């Protein structure tokens, strides 16, 4: 009898090689997944830190911009306060000038002389009933020397007070004419100026109570400003008529009411200079504030950006 010899199986025989390969592949994928997960977690943590850092940086920038804006607004508030004070000083001076002119008017009224206060309480107008020049002439008519003298006395009395001269830069004695052509040298311009000079000379040429008008000087409150003679003369020809043109209708040439003298009071200009300086500062601060507001808006937009 023949016996079948059994051949022993080699190691691994009988196992499915496909299963072994798939198992290795899944193990590799799991390792890769774990690695990717670890890298992702690291990146997420890094991104969070970066986002936190960026957020903190934006917040710091916003805080700095807000501080700058607050400082700018405080500076503007200070400047606005200075402007308000300067405007208050101007208003106070204008009020004091108005009171002074009303006192002069009252003084003259008591002397039987009526004058007008015009142009926002800055000009004393001497009407033709009190002082009027003949056509083409600059001499003070004899009939009007009394009112002319009284006006000079009232003016000297008011301007001798320190508190009034502190207000003023210049007092102009202004001459005016009508529109009738004048053949003398310099025409109506010269005639108007000579009328102002004629009244000034009438007040000051002869020694007496009115001669003090020549020595009146300004009284600046600023020690860096030198005092100067207070009263000046000027002429305006027919350029400042007391009559208005209506509907384009020209004025008649011969206007006795325009052959007159005005006395104009101008306030010191220090407040104006201060206001101009403050205005420049305010404009600069306004530009700075606008820039800061724009910066804050941009930072706010970045904060909400994805």
- Tens-digit pLDDT profile for residues 191-209: 999 999 999 999 999 877 8
- The number of CA neighbours under 13 Å toward the Cβ of 183 is 0
Q: Which residue, 226, 208, 209, is CA-closest to 217?
A: 226
For residue 212, what are the contacts with CB-CB under 8 A and spacing of at least 6? 156, 160
Q: Say which range, 93-97, 175-179, 266-270, has the weakest mean pLDDT.
A: 266-270
Count of all residues that appear for the chain in the document: 306
C-beta of residue 205 within 8 angstroms of C-beta of residue 255: no
The Cα-based distances of 38 to 35, 44, 69, 86, 253 in angstroms read 5, 10, 46, 71, 104
Question: To the nearest whole percent, how much of the chain has pLDDT over 90?
Answer: 45
Tokens 């009303």 sit on residue:
102
Contact (Cβ atoms closer than 8 angstroms) between residue 218 and residue 230? yes
Look over the chain and give the mean of its residue pLDDT values, rounded to a whole number.
Answer: 81
Report whether 79 contacts 281 (CB < 8 A): yes
The reported pTM is 0.68
Helix (H, G, I), strand (E, B) or coil at 127: coil
The 10s digit of each residue's pLDDT in 228-240 is 999 999 999 999 9
């Amino acid at each position: 009898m023949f016996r079948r010899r059994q051949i022993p199986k080699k190691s691994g025989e009988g196992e499915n090689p496909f299963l072994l390969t798939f198992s290795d592949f899944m193990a590799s994928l799991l390792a890769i997944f774990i690695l990717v997960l670890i890298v992702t977690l690291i990146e997420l943590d890094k991104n969070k830190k970066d986002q936190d850092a960026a957020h903190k940086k934006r917040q710091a920038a916003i805080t700095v911009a807000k501080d700058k804006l607050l400082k700018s607004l405080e500076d503007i508030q200070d400047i606005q306060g200075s402007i308000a004070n300067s405007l208050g000083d101007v208003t106070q001076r204008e009020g004091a000038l108005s009171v002074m002119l009303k006192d002069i008017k009252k003084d003259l009224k008591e002397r039987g002389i009526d004058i007008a206060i015009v142009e926002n309480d800055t000009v004393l107008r001497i009407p033709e009933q009190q002082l009027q020049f003949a056509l083409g002439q600059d001499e003070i008519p004899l009939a009007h020397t009394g009112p002319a003298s009284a006006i000079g006395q009232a003016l000297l009395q008011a301007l001798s007070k320190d508190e009034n001269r502190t207000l003023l830069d210049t007092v102009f004695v202004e001459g005016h004419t009508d529109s009738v052509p004048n053949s003398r040298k310099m025409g109506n311009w010269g005639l108007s100026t000579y009328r102002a000079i004629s009244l000034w000379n009438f007040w000051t040429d002869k020694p007496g109570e009115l001669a003090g008008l020549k020595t009146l000087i300004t009284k600046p409150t600023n020690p860096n400003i030198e005092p100067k003679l207070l009263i000046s003369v000027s002429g305006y020809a027919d350029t400042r008529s007391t009559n208005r043109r209506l509907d384009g209708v020209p004025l008649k040439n011969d206007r006795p009411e325009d052959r007159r003298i005005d006395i104009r009071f101008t306030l010191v200009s220090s407040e104006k200079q201060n206001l101009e300086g403050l205005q420049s500062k305010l404009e600069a601060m306004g530009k700075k504030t606008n820039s800061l507001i724009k910066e804050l808006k941009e930072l706010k937009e970045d904060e909400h950006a994805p």
